[in-house]
């Protein structure tokens, strides 16, 4: 066991050394924000640093990543503004020179003349004119003319609205803010089209794919993509061998004839947790409703079956709330599970535990409702930019809530760590065979509390590469990293208490699985940052280590499946059937959603062409709900099963389980994946901007595929209804019971 702990500690320490090193490179080599942008021929200043930075704040205030995307990160209905800007700028300049030199359209020129004009465009756009002494960027007059046309175009979109982009009229009407927003969009396109100093690729490693300026995939992306695929096969082989070699070595347990937990006495603090499950069920229902509205905007743009809903709830708000509520209810489920299991692990109830649980409950309500109201006010431009940053909409996917609400949530997490951690410390001091299992659980609990603070590491005027770096620390390391370690250990603890696996084996497997997962997961954070203004090292390390992320929970699922087969003949195990089924579903979706569909977009060669397309939505839905959502639901059911004193009528749970899984499959197979494949083909053959263009997304074939999503959505929504119905009914029954252990 000591060797496993040494491996775990070594993996964590060395991985963070590498991740922090990349962070220093991000800070030092990020695209510069110039003090001034100057037109070469006239020496006139067209943009200042303040214009660009304030423009970023304006972009954040209107919803940021919930209104199209920047550098491929964001929503899918509106264009990627960077790619769209570059393409429109290039087309304008080519047409200008074709008319000036040959008095004809660019497309009508012969091959030689096209090549000559294209070469002029590439030299104009890709030559890095940033002067590190004066900190200025120089652009040509013709490029400024192209930029001026873009300014008119984008100002019209955000002020007059654009139905196909789901942008309502009056989204942004302030003339000064429109100018600043365009300054920011120009800077993102400049960084994506201008070569790094002394390099033959741009600050975003030639992303987006734009043939007009020879933005083509780099050699580094190709090389590391190939290596990542080889390493994936190698790691799967090694881990499968490890599993087959070691999974039989645990202690042989006598099959219990009776439920080992049948005499479990639950305490007052566990009853206090029950109200979380009611609120979580309501949040799940609200999230699904908002998801339906968000998807419908992709069909009608501004309306909901003819009603102009966007006046009150624009797409940017419904999508913000949809994604944010997913994080809220899933995280709340896991946190509630920690509070519920803490007295079971320690064997006693600590002082003031009920008070702390009630305090966190009301804090959760305040954070959810307050952040949602702030985001609505921010997007509707009722807040100034600084107030919006703290109380409104930060503009970054999965962490849209204002900084003030992040502070409150951080304080709540610290309190949660203390409340759960003191129970775990008490259990560790017993020094029994569960010690290793509880220690790794404590490590995950502390990490969950600490790593949320990574989302506070940037400021209001931090640059986009820096914000993205810390954003993925939060989204990937917090949610996909240490929450997943926490989940693995909790499942192992539950099954050890049920005598399905021995406590000693559960501890050994949990620490080993955490080491294996984090070996890929920590440095694998970088696979989100290939083309975000980061250095090429992010591509090399991200591609290499993200290949290792998939396996541990899948192997845990195989272990659960095996033990279910061993014990299904026992009558008592039937009472835990549906929690176990939800955990098995987690293993399935971990392999399909996080594994297959995750690796579909993880290699640099894939992400280069399909980042921000519906292929990303495939991964997001199957991994976020399929893994973390199913896991959260399984936790709720197992907690209720421990507490309930009545025999369950399982019809609602059975329907919920199968409808959720069938609906998720249908959603992907009938709609998301086919649309993603069409977009991917377009991106590869024509250029990224065409894959996000309204002409493609509103074509008859794609529109039909969007409507077909209703099949999966309806099935899935009915499953949600049955799950919430069961959860609320069972929770209310148990809440009314008066007999509670002390």
* Whether residues 351 and 483 fall in one domain: no
446 occurs within a structural domain: yes
Q: How many domains does the chain fold into?
A: 3
- pLDDT of the residue at 479: 75
Tokens of 365: 């309500």
Q: Are 542 and 601 in contact (CB under 8 A)?
A: no
Q: Is 390 exposed, middle or buried (0-12, 13-18, 19+ CB in 10 A)?
A: middle
- pLDDT of the residue at 531: 95
Q: Is residue 590 predicted with pLDDT exceeding 50?
A: yes
pLDDT in tens, 441-499: 999 999 999 989 999 999 999 999 999 999 999 988 887 778 878 888 888 888 888 87
665 occurs within a structural domain: no
* Backbone conformation region of residue 349, classed left if phi is above 0, alpha if psi is from -120 to 50, else beta: beta
C-alpha 12/C-alpha 14 separation (Å) is 6
C-alpha 523/C-alpha 14 separation (Å) is 10
Which residue among 408, 430, 452 closes a domain?
Answer: 430
**CA atoms in the 13 A half-sphere facing the CB of 652:** 14
Confidence of residue 259 (pLDDT cuts 50, 70, 90): confident
Q: Which one-letter DSSP state was computed for residue 31?
A: P
Q: Is 74 exposed, middle or buried (0-12, 13-18, 19+ CB in 10 A)?
A: buried
C-alpha 363/C-alpha 380 separation (Å) is 26
pLDDT in tens, 395-417: 999 989 999 999 999 999 999 99
C-alpha 496/C-alpha 720 separation (Å) is 30
Q: Are strands 36-39 and 136-139 parallel, antiparallel or unpaired?
A: parallel
Q: Are 72 and 80 in contact (CB under 8 A)?
A: yes
451 occurs within a structural domain: yes
C-alpha 73/C-alpha 612 separation (Å) is 6
Taking CA 503 as the corner, what is the angle to CA 501 and CA 505, rounded to the nearest 5 degrees? Answer: 70
C-alpha 725/C-alpha 731 separation (Å) is 10
* Whether residues 81 and 110 fall in one domain: yes
Here the contacts of 194-200 (C-beta below 8 Å, separation 24 or greater) are 194/31, 194/125, 194/126, 194/127, 194/128, 194/129, 194/130, 195/126, 195/127, 195/128, 196/29, 196/128, 197/128, 197/130
Q: Which residues of 496-514 are buried (b: 16+ CB within 10 A; e: fewer)?
A: bbbbbbbbbbbbbbbbbbb
CA distances in angstroms from 508 to 4, 430, 433, 485, 586, listed in the order given: 8, 18, 11, 13, 21
- pLDDT of the residue at 555: 63
Q: Is residue 369 predicted with pLDDT exceeding 90?
A: yes
- pLDDT of the residue at 240: 74
- pLDDT of the residue at 483: 80
* Whether residues 21 and 52 fall in one domain: no
Q: Which one-letter DSSP state was computed for residue 205?
A: T
Q: Are 609 and 464 in contact (CB under 8 A)?
A: no
pLDDT, average across residues 11-35 = 95
Greater model confidence, 742 or 618: 618
* Whether residues 405 and 525 fall in one domain: no
* Whether residues 461 and 477 fall in one domain: yes
What phi and psi values does residue 249 have, to the nearest 5 degrees? -85, -5
C-alpha 211/C-alpha 87 separation (Å) is 9
559 occurs within a structural domain: no
582 occurs within a structural domain: no
383 occurs within a structural domain: yes
Helix, coil or strand: residue 713:
helix
* Whether residues 340 and 443 fall in one domain: no
Greater model confidence, 568 or 386: 386
pLDDT, average across residues 52-80 = 96
Q: State the residue for tokens 């006139």.
A: 44
C-alpha 352/C-alpha 119 separation (Å) is 72
737 occurs within a structural domain: no
Confidence of residue 742 (pLDDT cuts 50, 70, 90): very low
pLDDT in tens, 211-231: 999 999 999 999 999 988 888
pLDDT, average across residues 295-310 = 80
Q: Are 489 and 514 in contact (CB under 8 A)?
A: yes
Residue from 634, 645, 480 nearest 552 by CA: 480
CA distances in angstroms from 486 to 511, 514, 634, listed in the order given: 11, 9, 14
Tokens of 122: 């590439």
pLDDT, average across residues 298-321 = 85
CA distances in angstroms from 322 to 285, 397, 478, listed in the order given: 10, 11, 19
* Whether residues 176 and 108 fall in one domain: yes
Q: Is residue 131 predicted with pLDDT exceeding 60?
A: yes
ω into residue 208 within 30 of 0, thus cis? yes
Which residue among 534, 563, 581 closes a domain?
Answer: 534
Per the DSSP assignment, residues forming a β-bridge with 69 are 74, 80
Q: Note down the domain range covering 163.
A: 31-216
Percent above pLDDT 90 for the chain: 69
Q: In 10 A of CB 2, how many CB atoms?
A: 6
Q: Which helix H or strand E contains 45, and what residues bound it?
A: strand 45-48
Q: Is the four-CA dihedral 559, 560, 561, 562 of positive or negative sign?
A: positive
Taking CA 341 as the corner, what is the angle to CA 336 and CA 345, rounded to the nearest 5 degrees? Answer: 150
C-alpha 528/C-alpha 633 separation (Å) is 27
* Whether residues 450 and 357 fall in one domain: no
What ranges in 264-349 are assigned the alpha helix state H? Answer: 268-300, 315-346
- pLDDT of the residue at 660: 97
Tokens of 86: 């570059």
* Whether residues 202 and 77 fall in one domain: yes
C-alpha 323/C-alpha 340 separation (Å) is 26
Q: Which helix H or strand E contains 70, and what residues bound it?
A: strand 69-70
Helix, coil or strand: residue 249:
coil
Q: Is 49 exposed, middle or buried (0-12, 13-18, 19+ CB in 10 A)?
A: middle
Residues 6+ apart with CB under 8 A from 542: 523, 524, 525, 526, 527, 528, 529, 530, 604
Helices (H) and strands (E) in the chain, counts: 28, 5
Q: Are strands 73-74 and 69-70 parallel, antiparallel or unpaired?
A: antiparallel
- pLDDT of the residue at 138: 97
* Whether residues 414 and 445 fall in one domain: no
C-alpha 742/C-alpha 723 separation (Å) is 30
Q: State the residue for tokens 């104009």.
A: 124
pLDDT in tens, 331-357: 899 899 999 999 999 888 899 999 999
What is the CA 48 to chain-centroid distance, rounded? 33
466 occurs within a structural domain: yes
C-alpha 270/C-alpha 350 separation (Å) is 12
Q: State the residue for tokens 């370690």.
A: 485
- pLDDT of the residue at 584: 85
How high does pLDDT run on average in the chain? 90
Q: Is 432 exposed, middle or buried (0-12, 13-18, 19+ CB in 10 A)?
A: exposed
- pLDDT of the residue at 613: 95
- pLDDT of the residue at 739: 55
Which residue among 518, 534, 550 closes a domain?
Answer: 534
pLDDT, average across residues 24-34 = 96
* Whether residues 424 and 486 fall in one domain: no
* Whether residues 22 and 41 fall in one domain: no
C-alpha 322/C-alpha 289 separation (Å) is 8
Q: Are 417 and 449 in contact (CB under 8 A)?
A: yes
pLDDT in tens, 183-197: 999 999 999 999 999
Least confident of 40-49, 96-105, 510-519: 510-519
pLDDT in tens, 659-716: 999 999 999 999 999 999 999 999 999 999 999 999 999 999 999 999 999 999 999 9
pLDDT, average across residues 5-10 = 92
C-alpha 10/C-alpha 434 separation (Å) is 22
Q: In 10 A of CB 76, how many CB atoms?
A: 21
Q: Are strands 73-74 and 136-139 parallel, antiparallel or unpaired?
A: unpaired
């Amino acid at each position: 066991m000591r060797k496993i702990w040494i491996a775990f500690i070594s993996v964590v320490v060395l991985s963070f050394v590498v991740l922090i090193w990349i962070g220093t490179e991000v800070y030092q080599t990020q695209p510069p924000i110039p003090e001034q942008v100057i037109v070469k021929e006239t020496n006139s200043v067209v943009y200042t640093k303040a214009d660009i930075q304030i423009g970023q704040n304006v972009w954040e205030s209107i919803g940021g990543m919930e209104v199209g995307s920047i550098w491929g990160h964001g929503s899918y209905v509106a264009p990627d503004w960077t790619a769209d800007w570059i393409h429109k700028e290039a087309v304008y300049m080519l047409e200008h020179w074709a008319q000036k030199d040959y008095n004809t359209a660019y497309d009508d020129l012969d091959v030689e003349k096209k090549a000559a004009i294209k070469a002029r465009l590439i030299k104009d756009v890709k030559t890095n004119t940033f002067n590190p002494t004066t900190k200025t960027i120089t652009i040509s007059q013709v490029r400024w003319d192209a930029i001026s046309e873009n300014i008119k175009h984008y100002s019209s979109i955000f002020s007059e609205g654009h139905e196909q982009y789901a942008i309502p009229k009056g989204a942004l009407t302030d003339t000064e803010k429109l100018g600043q927003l365009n300054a920011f969009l120009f800077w993102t396109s400049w960084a994506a089209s201008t070569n790094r100093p002394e390099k033959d690729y741009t600050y975003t490693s030639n992303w987006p794919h734009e043939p007009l300026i020879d933005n083509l995939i780099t050699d580094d992306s190709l090389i590391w993509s190939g290596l990542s695929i080889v390493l994936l096969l190698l790691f799967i082989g090694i881990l499968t061998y490890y599993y087959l070699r070691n999974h039989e070595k645990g202690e042989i347990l006598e099959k219990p004839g009776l439920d080992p937990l049948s005499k479990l006495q639950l305490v007052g603090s566990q009853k206090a947790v029950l109200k979380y499950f009611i609120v979580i069920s309501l949040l799940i229902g609200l999230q699904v409703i908002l998801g339906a509205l968000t998807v419908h905007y992709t069909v009608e743009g501004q309306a909901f079956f003819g009603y102009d809903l966007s006046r009150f709830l624009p797409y940017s708000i419904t999508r913000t709330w949809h994604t944010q509520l997913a994080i809220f209810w899933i995280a709340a489920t896991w946190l509630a599970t920690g509070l519920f299991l803490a007295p079971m692990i320690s064997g006693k109830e600590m002082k003031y535990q009920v008070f702390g649980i009630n305090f966190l409950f009301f804090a959760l309500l305040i954070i959810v409702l307050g952040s949602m109201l702030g985001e609505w006010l921010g997007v509707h431009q009722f807040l100034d930019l600084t107030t919006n940053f703290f109380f409104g909409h930060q503009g970054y996917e999965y962490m849209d809530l204002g900084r003030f609400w992040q502070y409150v949530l951080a304080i709540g997490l610290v309190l949660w760590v203390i409340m759960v951690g003191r129970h775990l410390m008490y259990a560790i001091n017993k020094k029994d065979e569960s010690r290793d299992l509880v220690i790794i659980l404590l490590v995950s609990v502390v990490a969950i509390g600490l790593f949320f603070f990574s989302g506070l590491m940037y400021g209001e005027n931090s640059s986009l590469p820096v914000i993205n770096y810390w954003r993925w620390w939060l989204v990937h390391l917090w949610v996909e990293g240490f929450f997943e370690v926490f989940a693995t250990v909790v499942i192992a603890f539950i099954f050890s208490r049920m005598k399905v696996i021995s406590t000693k084996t559960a501890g050994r497997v949990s620490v080993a699985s955490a080491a294996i997962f984090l070996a890929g997961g920590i440095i694998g954070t970088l696979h989100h940052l290939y083309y975000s203004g980061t250095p090429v090292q992010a591509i090399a390390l991200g591609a290499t280590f993200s290949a290792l992320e998939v396996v541990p929970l899948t192997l845990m699922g195989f272990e659960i499946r095996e033990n279910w087969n061993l014990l299904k003949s026992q009558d008592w195990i039937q009472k835990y059937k549906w929690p176990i089924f939800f955990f098995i579903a987690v293993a399935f979706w971990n392999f399909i959603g996080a594994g297959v569909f995750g690796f579909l977009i993880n290699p640099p060669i894939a992400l280069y062409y399909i980042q921000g397309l519906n292929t990303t939505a495939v991964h997001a839905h199957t991994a976020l709900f399929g893994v973390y959502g199913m896991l959260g639901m399984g936790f709720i059911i197992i907690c209720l099963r421990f507490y309930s004193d009545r025999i369950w009528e399982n019809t609602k749970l059975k329907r919920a389980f199968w409808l959720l899984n069938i609906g998720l499959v249908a959603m992907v197979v009938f709609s998301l994946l086919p649309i993603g494949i069409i977009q991917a083909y377009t991106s590869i053959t024509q250029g990224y901007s065409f894959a996000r263009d309204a002409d493609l997304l509103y074509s008859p074939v794609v529109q039909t595929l969007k409507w077909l999503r209703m099949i999966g959505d309806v099935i899935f929504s009915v499953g949600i209804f049955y799950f919430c119905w069961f959860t609320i009914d069972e929770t209310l029954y148990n809440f009314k019971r008066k007999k509670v252990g002390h």
